[in-house]
Structure 1
C-alpha cells in the first residue's frame, strides 16, 4: 500500500546562503507535518527572464526543471522578502514561466500562498500581495486566508515561538486547503 504525500513546492525569493527566508523555507522543509513533503525548488537564479521567443519545445533546461518541479507538487508556497516594495524579480520570473503555456501552465489550479519576513516593519506585506496577485493571474488558486507577513522580531522570527507557529500554521492551512472541483 502506498501512502500519498502532499508535495509542496517552495519558490524562494532570496538566495543568500544565510538569508532569513531561506532559513524559513528550510525550517518548514525540516519540520513539515507527517505526510507532507516540502521541496525548495532549486535553480531559480538560473532561469532566464521570460521571453516567448525562447519558450516552447526547446525551452531552457532550467525553466523546464522549474515547471516539472511545480507540476509534480500539489501546492505552491512562495517564501520571500520584499524588495523595493514588491516581490523579487526572480520570484516574478518564476511565476511568469509557470504561467505558460497560457491556461495550461504548471501553476494552474495549484493552491498557492506567499509568506516570509523582512527586517522592515512591513514584513513583506506588499511582496506577498503582489506574489498572490501574479499567481492568481497565472491561474493558481490563492488561499486568501493565509497571510504571514512577519516583521523581524529582534532580528530573527525563527527565534520567536509564536512566529514559528504562524509559519508552520500557514503550511498546515495550505496543505489542508481543498480545491473546489467544478461539477
Structure 2
C-alpha cells in the first residue's frame, strides 16, 4: 500500500490596496493565515515604498522596492489582493504597483499568476466598482484573476475587531475563495511541470 505524499508547500502573496496604518484591507489580509491549509504560507507585501511609475526608471536598475515587489510576485504561487474603493475606482497606490509589476510587457512576473481579488469598504457596495477595475488591470497584465463570485466586504469597519476580521460568514466566503486560489495555483504548477 502506498501513502499519498503530503501536499507541496504553497506560497501566497497578499497585497493591500491601502497604505493607511489602520487599513481595513490590511486587517482583512492579516486575518487569512488561519483559513489556509498548513502547507500554505501567506506573506503581506507593503506598497508604501513603491515610487510612482516612471518609464525613465524602468530599465536595468529599477528602484529597489520595485525589484522586491517583482521578486515577491515571481516567487509566489498565487496573489491575494484586498483593496478599498476610492471615488468609485482603484486606489492609485495599487494601480501604480500593478503598472510597475506589469513590466516587461508580456513577460512580467504577473503573467499567468492566479489572483484572488477582494474589496472592502465601510459603505454598502463593498468596493465592487474598484474590483472590476482591478480585475481588468490584472487581466491586461496576463495575470489570471479567479472567475468566481465577487468578494466584496460591505460595512467592513463593523466586521473588524482589534485589527482582525472576525465576521464568520465573511470569513467563510473568503475561505472558499482561498481554496479556489490554492486549487488554481496547484493546477498551474502541475501544468508547468508537465511542459
Regarding TM over 0.5, the answer is: yes
2:104 pairs with 1:97: no
> Out of 7, 12, 16, which is 1:12 matched to?
16
Query: Do the aligned partners of 1:9 and 1:70 also contact (CA within 8 Å) in 2?
Result: yes
Kindly indicate whether residue 37 of structure 2 is the aligned counterpart of residue 37 of structure 1.
Answer: no
CA RMSD after TM alignment: 2.2
Is 1:66 the counterpart of 2:69? The answer is yes
Query: Hey, what's the Cα distance between the residues in 1 that align with 2:166 and 2:63?
Result: 39
Q: Which has the larger radius of gyration?
A: 2
Matching residue within 167, 175, 179 for 1:160: 167
Q: How does 1:18-167 map to 2 (within 5 A)?
A: 18-42=22-46, 44-152=47-155, 155-156=158-159, 158-167=165-174
Number of residue equivalences: 182
Q: In the TM superposition, what is the alpha-carbon distance from 1:53 to its structure 2 partner? A: 1.0
Is the 8 Å Cα contact of residues 24 and 156 (structure 2) preserved in structure 1? no
Given that 1:29 and 1:38 are in contact with CA atoms closer than 8 Å, whether structure 2 keeps it comes out as yes
Gapped runs of 5+ residues in structure 1? none
Classify the secondary structure of the residue corresponding to 1:114. strand
* CA distances 1:73-102 after superposition (whole Å, capped 9, x unpaired): 010111111111111111111111111001
- TM-score under structure 1 normalisation? 0.91
Are residues 2 and 156 of structure 1, via their aligned partners in 2, closer, same or farther at CA, if it must alter by over 3 Å?
closer
Contact kept, 8 Å, 1:153 with 1:160, in 2: the verdict is: no
**Residue 182 of structure 2 corresponds to residue 175 of structure 1:** yes
Which moved further from structure 2: 169-178 or 20-29? 169-178
Q: TM-score, normalised by structure 2?
A: 0.85
